[in-house]
Amino acid sequence: MRLLALFALEVLMTATLDAATTLDQRIDDAAKKVEAKVIACRRDIHEHPELGNRETRTSKIIADRLRELGIEVKTPIAHTGVIGILHGGKPGRVVALRADMDALPVVEQVDVPFKSTVRTTFNGHDVGVMHACGHDAHVAILLGVAEVLSDIRAEIPGTVKFLFQPAEEGAPEGEEGGAKLMVKEGALDNPKVDAVFGLHVTSRYPVGEIAYRSGSMMAAVDSFKITVHGKQTHGAYPWLGVDPIVIAAQIVLGLQTIPSRQVDSSLAPSIVTVGAIHGGVRNNIIPDDVEMIGTIRSLDAKMRDEIHARIKRTAEDIARSGGGTATVSIEEGYPITYNDPAITEQMAPTLRRIAGPSNVEVVNATLGAEDFSFFQQKVPGLFFWLGTRPKNQTAEQAASNHSPLFYVDESGLELGVRAMAHVAVDYLKTR
């Protein structure tokens, strides 16, 4: 009797293992079959890029395709966003997969048959438009994932939500947008999401590689404006006024001591960058005011608040020492992109399995920023890099994201489809 029980258990375990293997293989086979569609979709979207909150053509393509696959569609959300809901054949949790849709105000310089020649108006300026950050690849990959998972929906233990998000690069002036607005409008509710996953193509890693890290992966990003108020006078008689240009120069140098001397740089790196200074109209007039704007990047929430306070104190005190005053305003942008340690540990074996252990790298955090972080503030999630750099180029040779020369090696898109499909299914299968 005992032998019969052991035999029955062995048969059950073998059947379960075979079923898992079969499901994994079906995902891989389906990803290979949709590869050509994914590439064609990416090229179409690349040739017709749209800026944030204006992705009307892109969102229609997405919604139409999801409906063709028998996936429930909710749109619009956050202006032009699209949500797809795929109900699995078995009860379970809810996982969300995200792709951003918007392009950048960049004139493309890559010589490809599907090169963008689109021009539009952005914040009152005539600009070229290009998918210089790879969001076209993200959309195409996630539509490929939707097709792959729709074919195995009967075996999915739970629900998959596809989040196609507008305006990751920022909304036009005076508008809300992006992941923050999607969350505000209920993208993670009805049904309530338990975990969220996302990827980003990059030229920092070659085709075939995936990179990630647990905890803080990308920085919080904030912007600041400092207006230095002096006293206008003739350039020949500076002692009769207060020179805000000299004060501004001292403030720029003072701000650099914040990340290098005033916060614990061994805890996490940070950056304070002044990106523009405006003041004066003639070479012989000391102006009343100088305005400077810049960016703050940080990887620790407590340090973020501390840097904000130190910027205000530094600017105000230096201005006062020169006989002027300074007005400081800081606008919070995206939070830290924080990979939940438990989910990261849970899904790391999946990434290694599909890409191969030697092709998955744990990397340092970056001071770039991502509004995927707004989803992670509400539910635990994992965000990872997908290498799309041609293998015959080094990271130094390849144009970076946001460059007019940014190039995606499309042979890496299939791995993106497999990665997102497998992490979704493996998460749902794990209790």
Query: pLDDT digit string (tens) for 167-190?
Result: 999 999 999 999 999 999 999 999
Whether 267 shows a pLDDT value over 60: the answer reads yes
Residue type, 208: G
The structure's pTM equals 0.92
- Among all chains, which residue has been given the structure tokens 């375990």? 13
Q: Residue 431's pLDDT band (boundaries 50, 70, 90)?
A: confident
What is d(CA 302, CA 349) in angstroms, rounded to the nearest whole number? 32
Q: What angle do CA 59, 65, 67 make, to 5 degrees?
A: 105
Tracing tokens 């076209």 back to the chain, one arrives at: 136
Residue ranges of E strands in 207-244: 210-212, 215-218, 220-229, 233-234
Q: Do domains 10-218+336-429 and 220-334 have the same CATH topology?
A: no
Question: Taking residues 378-395, what's their average pLDDT?
Answer: 97
**pLDDT number for residue 54:** 97
Q: Where are the domains of the chain?
A: 10-218+336-429, 220-334
Answer yes or no: is pLDDT of 11 > 50: no
Q: Can you say whether residue 134 is alpha, beta or left, with left for phi > 0 and alpha for psi between -120 and 50 degrees?
A: left
Contacts of 302 (CB under 8 A, 6+ apart): none
Mean pLDDT for 121-134 is: 95
State both tokens at 411. Answer: 């042979």
CA nearest neighbour of 60 among 81, 44, 42? 81
As a whole number, mean pLDDT of residues 12-22 equals 55
Q: Considering all CA atoms of the chain, what is the largest pairwise distance in Å, rounded to the nearest integer? A: 106
CATH class of 220-334: alpha beta
Using CA atoms, how far apart are residues 60 and 75, in angstroms rounded to an integer?
9
Q: Is the pLDDT of residue 14 over 60?
A: no
Distances, alpha carbon 397 to alpha carbons 229, 315, 389, 393, 400, in Å: 44, 39, 10, 6, 9
pLDDT of 9 > 50? The answer is no
Element (H, E) at 35: helix 2-47
Whole-angstrom Cα distance, residue 198 to residue 216?
Answer: 15
Cα angle, residue 364 at apex, residues 297 and 356 outer, rounded to 5° = 140
The overall average pLDDT reported for the chain is 95
Cis peptide, bond prior to residue 172, ω within 30 of zero: no
Distance (Å, whole) CA 52 – CA 171: 5
Phi, psi of 141 (to 5 degrees): -60, -45
The catalytic residues are 334, 410
CA geometry: angle 202, 208, 209, nearest 5 deg: 60
Give the rounded percent of residues in the chain with a pLDDT score beyond 70: 95
pLDDT for the residue 17: 47
Within its chain, how far is the Cα of 47 from the centroid? 21
Rg over alpha carbons for the chain, rounded to the nearest Å, is: 25
CA distance 121 to 347: 42
Please give the torsion angle defined by the CA atoms of residues 134, 139, 142 and 144, in that order, rounded to the nearest 10 degrees: -100
Under 8 Å between Cβ of 162 and 86: yes
Separation of alpha carbons 163 and 98, rounded Å:
5
Q: At what angle do helices 56-68 and 2-47 cross, to 10 degrees?
A: 150
Residues 345/297, Cβ–Cβ less than 8 Å? no
- The encoded tokens of residue 275 equal 């990106």
pLDDT tens figures, 352-384? 999 999 999 999 999 999 999 999 999 999 999
Class (C level, CATH) for 10-218+336-429: alpha beta
Tokens coding 207: 């085709």
Distance CA 146, CA 144 (A): 5
